[in-house]
Amino acid sequence: MKVLGIESTAHTLGVGIVDEDDVLANKKSMYKPEEGGIHPRKASEHHYQHALEVLNNALDKAGLEEEDLDAVAFAQGPGIPQCLEIGAVMARSIAERYDLKLIGVNHCLSHISIGTRTTEAENPTTLYVSGGNSQIIEYRNGRYRIIGETLDIALGNALDKFARKLGYPHPGGPEIEKLAEKTDDIIELSYPIKGMDFSFSGLTTEAERKIGEVSDEVLANSFQEHAYSAVVEALERAMAQEGSNEALLTGGVAMNSRLREMVETMCEQRDAEAYFPPAEFCMDNGAMIAHQGLVELKDGRGTKIDDSGKRPDWRPDEVEATWIEK
Ligand code: AMP
Ligand code: MG
């Protein structure tokens, strides 16, 4: 079966095509703000303007026409409402025009699914850290449960905000990483963990207030050490609680080498395995939406046009993950 997937939850408009054996295409266009963070209307205009181009690139790459597809999946949420709208409209139009099955999938669950497809992980405890989401997720008893999550802003968003104050353009995570690599010095900041949850808004403000007092390199390094330690501590506790011996790191922040190193060290110490999907599948992409669509299609699921409206606040634990036990 061949499924086309559309990702448009935030800055990336992605179109991927998969079947059971291969990722046949994974094309995208990314919106880059000229200044500041993601502007919802401008991001959605970007997606609208590049919709046909990215769609055609993916079909060309896969050597397919729309008629050859079995279904169209789209990221129904969570995400920025204006951006979600574009993906939903694209998916509905293609599905209606070519009489294909329509499947609205959860963006967070798609990150996990493509992670288990592209690594050896089977039933991992997932640390999903990106520009808009920060969650620790585990499958338990019919659903993916959120074991820990940010109480305010996402980790990627915190890095982007702090980097912006230091004068770097969006996305700031990679810039903070480069600065942090220049030093081993660290200053004490507040440690942003609250039980199994974490919060990055206070840490960001605190680091911003110290700009000028402490070098940018030391601030960047300190920010990373505190923020990454907190999420890895929560990840370790989630694994201990569940007796899990697999960790999956995904989302844009999973590109960070210091965070990977921390996850790897933690896993080594508890005789667990750490899994990192290839970069193109960590970042938001269309193939992960297509793959989740394929999984749900084979499980007999689908979305009626009437139920295909955007779901900006859709939590992964609202989905009954009926495909897992089967
Ligand atoms: P996503 O929302 O999953 O596409 O991921 C985008 C987020 O990942 C942004 O907040 C980026 O700053 C962040 N990011 C990308 N690369 C890195 C990196 N090397 N280190 C830290 N954060 C990163
Ligand atoms: Mg994402």
Give the Å distance between the CA of 135 and the centre of ligand 2. 11
Q: Which of 169, 156, 155 is nearest to 33 (CA)?
A: 169
Distance of CA 263 to the CA centre of its chain: 17
In CATH terms, is domain 123-276 a member of 3.30.420.40? yes
pLDDT at residue 75 greater than cutoff 90: yes
Instruction: Count the residues in the chain.
Output: 326
Give the Å distance between the CA of 252 and the centre of ligand 2. 7
Distance of CA 164 to the CA centre of its chain: 21
Rounded distance, CA 321 to CA 4, Å? 21
Superfamily name with CATH number, domain 3-111+281-325: ATPase, nucleotide binding domain (3.30.420.40)
Amino acid at 168: Y
Give the Å distance between the CA of 7 and the centre of ligand 2. 9
Which residue's CA is minimally distant from atom 21 of ligand 1? 173
Question: 116: which residues sit within 8 A by CB, 6+ positions away?
Answer: 122, 123, 124, 248
Rounded distance, CA 92 to CA 227, Å? 40
How does strand 246-250 pair with strand 197-198?
A: unpaired
**Residue showing tokens 């990679």:** 174
**Residue showing tokens 């992605």:** 14
Burial per residue of 20-31, b for 16 or more beta-carbon CB atoms within 10 angstroms, e otherwise: eeebbbbbbbeb
For a mutational test of ligand 1's pocket, the pick from 111, 179, 223, 253, i.e. the residue with the most ligand atoms closer than 8 A to its C-beta, is: 253
Rounded distance, CA 326 to CA 322, Å? 7
pLDDT range class, residue 36, cuts 50, 70, 90: confident
> Where in the chain do CATH 3.30.420.40 domains reside?
3-111+281-325, 123-276
Pocket of ligand 1 (CB under 6 A): 10, 12, 130-132, 156, 159-160, 171-174, 177, 251-253, 255-256, 283-284
Q: What are phi and psi of 196, to 5 degrees?
A: -90, -5
Give the Å distance between the CA of 194 and the centre of ligand 1. 23
Which pTM was predicted? 0.97
**Helix, strand, coil abundance in the chain, percent, nearest 5:** 50, 20, 30
Farthest CA pair distance, the chain: 62
pLDDT at residue 43 greater than cutoff 80: yes
pLDDT at 35: 86
Q: What is the pLDDT of residues 228-285, one digit of tens each?
A: 999 999 999 999 999 999 999 999 999 999 999 999 999 999 999 999 999 999 999 9
| Cis, bond preceding 192 (omega within 30 deg of 0) | no
pLDDT range class, residue 37, cuts 50, 70, 90: confident
